[in-house]
Amino acid sequence: MTIKKRKMPFSQQQLLRGNFKDLSQVYKKPLVKLPTMPNRYRMPSLSGEYWYIVAKLNGRMVLLGPYDNESAAYEVGSSKLNTSYAVIPLQTRSRAAATQQMRHRMLNETSDLALSLKRMRHRI
């Protein structure tokens, strides 16, 4: 089985020099996909901590966040939740990593494997 090489509409030297008869010879598709704007320009937390809200809602654990400061987390908790909740600091922005850290904390505090392995919600 032979592999056919795709013919380029221009040579490598033309590409480097920029000598084209018209712009239709240049590929329009970008070679590298850039990340989206919000993720690119998001400033990291100055303290290195991100704040998460942990609550139990209808028998299921809920983890909301990350928030850049503690007051923002308390504002969201008081506006969205009508049950008791806790605001905790974690060192990660990733929800998946925060969920794993919370599972380990719950296992260490309660020693209940079934409770720590239950799935957590990330939305209300």
pLDDT band for position 54 (50/70/90)?
very high
Tell whether the model's pLDDT for residue 25 goes beyond 90: no
Tell whether the model's pLDDT for residue 19 goes beyond 90: no
One-character DSSP codes across 38-94: HHHHPPPPSSS-EEEEEEEETTEEEEEEEESSHHHHHHHHHHH-SS-EEEEEES---
Q: What is the chain's Cα-based Rg? A: 25
pLDDT digits (tens, 9 = 90+) for 100-112: 999 999 999 989 9
Tell whether the model's pLDDT for residue 123 goes beyond 70: yes
The answer to whether the beta carbons of residues 85 and 77 sit under 8 Å apart is yes
Please give the C-alpha separations between residue 86 and each of 17, 21, 79, in angstroms, as whole numbers.
Answer: 61, 65, 14
pLDDT digits (tens, 9 = 90+) for 55-95: 999 889 999 999 999 999 999 999 999 999 999 999 999 99
Q: How far apart are CA 83 and CA 16, in angstroms?
A: 64
Tell whether the model's pLDDT for residue 3 goes beyond 70: no
Tell me how crowded residue 31 is: count the other CB atoms within 10 A of its CB: 5
